[in-house]
Structure 1
Amino acid sequence: MSPLIHVEEVSVVIAVLGGFIIIFGLVSFFVKERLYLSEALVSVIVGIILGPIALGLLDPFHWGPKDDITFEFTRIVIAIQVMCSGVALPKAYLAKEWKSLIILLLPVMTYMWAASGLIIWWIIPKINLLESLAIAACVTPTDPILANSVVKGRFAEKHVPPHVRNLLSAESASNDGLAYPFLFLSIYLMEEVSVGKAIGKWFLFAWLYQVALSCVIGVVVGYIARKLLYLAERNRLIDKESFLVFAIALAVSYSYLISFYGLND
């Protein structure tokens, strides 16, 4: 049985990735603070140049099931970035700014979803409104990685007030899960003949099971993890390296653990 990725391709990928990190690291301050270009934008441009449509040095289409590879890499990156966004927020931020966050996550996000759906429907006339809304649900959430690019750095610190940067970070880290109901509302309305049945299925599965239950489990796991980390640090059971990597390991493991039960990671 042949491996998913050939050894030669693995070597090329690791070499290119390491080389990019080294080169970008040497000029990162100039790129981010002088040119005001984010890591995400630079990475995308380099990926396009090195990818199959340009130089062809990296060709993910030969690595295996490209959709699965992209999906799993995306899950890991998003899980880590969401955790980093949460850790970077001030203490008890959600308890203090929950009203502002609710406004952004419910009415504003709903407006963004509807507006995006109408624009997509207008641009692509061959699809119907429900299909447009399903696509809009995928582009409505603010990406936490891209949001991180505009809330950090000298330009952001100089021109963007701290409370706006914190609110943007919190909103971008929270809205991925709330895009789930928008997506499945469109899907259920397309699948079910009865609108009432579609709404009921949407409320039970998307809202209660996917969103509410995931939030409850997240709160419980986060609370237990915080207590365990506090006890380990107080009793000098954990070293500095493990302390720093604890949040990343928790984010990735929790993301895949709840997927066993079909929950929204």
Structure 2
Amino acid sequence: MSDGSFFALNGYHFALGAVGAVVILAHWLPRFFSRREPAASGLLILLGMGVFALVPGVPSFPDPRATPFPWEIVSELCVIVALFATGLRIDRLSDWSRWGPTARLLALTMPLTILSVAVMGWAFAGMTAAGAILLGAVMAPTDPVLAADVQVGPPQEGGEHPVRFALTTEAALNDGLAFPFVYLGILVAAEGLAPATWGVEWLARDVFWRIAVGTAMGAAGGWALGQVLFAVPRKAVLAETSSGVVALAGVLLCYGTTELVEGYGFIAVAVAGLVIRRVE
């Protein structure tokens, strides 16, 4: 072509190549330094920053401060898939005594962490009470992806040490159980630090109702999806087709319907993963 457009450089293709290279390097480089595979998240962030700083022609992504909606959707989808996958990893539920450390992490450690962060934000950083509560609610939950290296392995791998079991089950449920404190921060921002005004409503709706509905919807959705994948029809089950997109669709269905009835979808997808594993 005389105008030279045959060799035109497209920023979109630069971005695709850079993303592929960064993902491969982030998972490959640690093999030089350790036989164990450390979490690649930090390397992904550093290498991504390097790409945008050094590689010419890479298009800029939308600024999350100006266009937050796409980032919210992508983040939400990533979290619900990660929580569902964390629930799937649990091979043995065993007896209820095994859940004791998980219950203490969720019912004692996480609220105390939220309280500590909120007090420090309010007392030392000069934040408002509402902002400090929201900061605590955001920072307290364990990331189910970043904590993967100290959790149990994939399904049927075994090695479910009690500590790993506690960390895995806690990471699966704590994102959803942090939501009551998010709503608490919103209530304080809207109506002030006056528990007599909104305390009963918060406990009834944001704590008891939404947690109970999320748990029930997750159990029902997980059982139904398990039947579709592994039981019905008996001689031609859908799981034999290795159609992972059906499992993803089931997660989206479970999450969406739970949110429609005012339950915590994050709790629902984690419980669905646990129940599907039992059905399978």
**Which interval holds the TM-score relative to the shorter structure?**
0.7 to 0.9
- Cα distance in 2 for partners of 1:141, 1:171 equals 9
Mapping of residues 162-241 of structure 1, within 5 Å: 162-192=161-191, 194-232=194-232, 234-238=234-238, 240-241=240-241
> Which structure has the bigger radius of gyration?
2
SS of the aligned residue for 2:264 comes to: coil
Q: How far does residue 95 in structure 1 lie from its aligned partner after superposition?
A: 4.3
- CA distance 1:16–1:259, change in 2 (3 Å): farther
| Unaligned 5+ runs, structure 2 | 1-9, 154-158, 266-280
Q: Point out the more displaced range, 58-67 or 255-264.
A: 58-67
Q: Which structure's relative contact order is higher, taking Cα pairs within 8 Å and 6+ residues apart?
A: 2
Q: Normalising by structure 1, report the TM-score.
A: 0.79
Q: Is the 8 A contact 2:98 2:162 kept in 1?
A: no
Q: Does 1:129 align with 2:151?
A: no
Q: Is the 8 A contact 1:40 1:146 kept in 2?
A: yes
Q: Point out the more displaced range, 104-113 or 37-46.
A: 37-46
Q: Is the 8 A contact 1:31 1:37 kept in 2?
A: no
Name the count of aligned residue pairs. 250
Q: How far does residue 202 in structure 1 lie from its aligned partner after superposition?
A: 0.8
Partner of 2:7: none
- Cα distance in 2 for partners of 1:176, 1:183 equals 11
Q: Is the 8 A contact 2:129 2:188 kept in 1?
A: no
Q: Which amino acid aligns with 1:176?
A: D
- Cα distance in 2 for partners of 1:59, 1:28 equals 26
Q: Normalising by structure 2, report the TM-score.
A: 0.75
Partner of 2:22: 20
Query: 1:60-85 CA distances to partner (integer Å, 9 max, x unpaired)?
Result: 22699631122111111111111111
- Cα distance in 1 for partners of 2:261, 2:13 equals 35
- CA distance 1:101–1:35, change in 2 (3 Å): closer
SS of the aligned residue for 2:242 comes to: helix
Q: Does 1:264 align with 2:257?
A: no
Q: How far does residue 111 in structure 1 lie from its aligned partner after superposition?
A: 0.8
Q: What is the root-mean-square deviation in Å for CA atoms of aligned residues?
A: 3.2
- Cα distance in 1 for partners of 2:38, 2:118 equals 29
Identity among equivalent pairs (%): 18
Partner of 2:148: 148
Higher helix share: 1
Q: Is the 8 A contact 1:39 1:149 kept in 2?
A: no
Q: Is the 8 A contact 1:50 1:58 kept in 2?
A: no
| Unaligned 5+ runs, structure 1 | 1-7, 154-159
- Cα distance in 1 for partners of 2:140, 2:246 equals 30
- CA distance 1:233–1:40, change in 2 (3 Å): farther
